[in-house]
Amino acid sequence: MAASNQKTILVTGGAGFIGSHTVVELLQQDYNVVIVDDLSNSSPIAIDRIRQIVGSQRADNLVFYQINVLNAEALGKVFEDHDIFAIIHFAGFKAVGESTQKPLEYYWNNVTGLMTTANVARAHGVKRIIFSSSATVYGEPAFIPITEDCPMAKTTNPYGETKAMCERILTDLFRADDEYSVVLLRYFNPIGAHESGLIGEDPAGIPNNLLPYVSQVAVGKLKEIHVFGNDYPTPDGTGVRDYIHVVDLARGHVAALRWLEGTVGTGTVEDAASLVGPTDEEGLRHGVAVFNLGTGTGTSVLQIIHAFEEACGHELPYVIDPRRPGDIAENYAACDKARTEMGWVAEYDIKRMCEDSWRWQSQNPNGFEG
């Protein structure tokens, strides 16, 4: 096996969109990585592409198991076979619209999946967890830009509710046992792809999110982009969101891991959302820390479309549809805390996000299948 920093990170859902990019960043920082993924919404080709990106030496530090995190027995065997330092938990269903149609499946998979993973980990003495959360936990936010002190509100869909429930479960674990180290990362809108064009977002069926939909129109798979509402109180009337490059987001997970290790950032986090103390005698942090991961800049739907037109070199047809229920005019983050506490800042702008998305989509018009 190639030389590494000897720490082994378990990445559940590591073959997925954000998970695969995070695994690349972890391997490039010389961590050992164990991926657990049932491939229900991902492809084994992603694992091969990760190895291709990082090169043969670092690829030796990657192990993959096709396991559903609800399978406690199989998961337990992974912990027996590997000395896991920390868990990055991505595994879960993620389509907002689908969650409204299949609430039971979403609660079962996302909430029970986390509880099973945490329970097996606890049985093996692993109490460091970085959780893939979402800005959806803010519901209709009390103020914008959204800081981590913005109260969690009533979420607008079961997907968002599962993220809020999982945050509460992990927070209660620390309240019951102060040896726990938990980081809750609240994402805004991840887009883009790896600059190699080898990994990117590969949604099953019709995409639910804006960028993969735009890129599939650009490549000719879909006829036109549907813009939901152009009468919002925004500069061009379309909804404004905080889009973040998936590689920046992936690096945010590495920064969170370094923060847990006590190798970056300050000793404490002081805000209403977090319960964090100073580092222990080994330099490790304990508690629950909450971080927004976004750019802090809002971009409208039409701005995204026009940026993608520049990336792909031709105009993209779009139609204006009525507003969708529950959509709000604007939603973007304040990310000062991640910068000051973890030393992390998003580097890539919308132009780069669209260029990388187009490279992925044009080189892989049918995703990982060709």
Amino acid letter for position 8: T
- Let me know: does 42 contact 49? Beta carbons within 8 Å: no
Using H for helix, E for strand and C for coil, what is the string for 134-186?
EHHHHCCCCCCCECCCCCCCCCCCHHHHHHHHHHHHHHHHHHHCCCCEEEEEE
How far apart are the C-alpha atoms of 247 and 187, rounded to whole Å? 13
- Cα 24 to chain centroid distance, Å, stands at 14
Would you tell me the crossing angle of helices 72-81 and 113-123 to the nearest 10 degrees? 40
Burial 352-370 (b: 16+ CB within 10 A, else e): bbbbbbbbbbeebeebbee
Q: Which residues are catalytic?
A: 159
Length of the chain: 370
* Nearest CA among 204, 214, 212 for reference residue 42: 204
Helix (H, G, I), strand (E, B) or coil at 330: strand
User: Phi and psi for 250 in degrees, rounded to 5?
Assistant: -60, -40
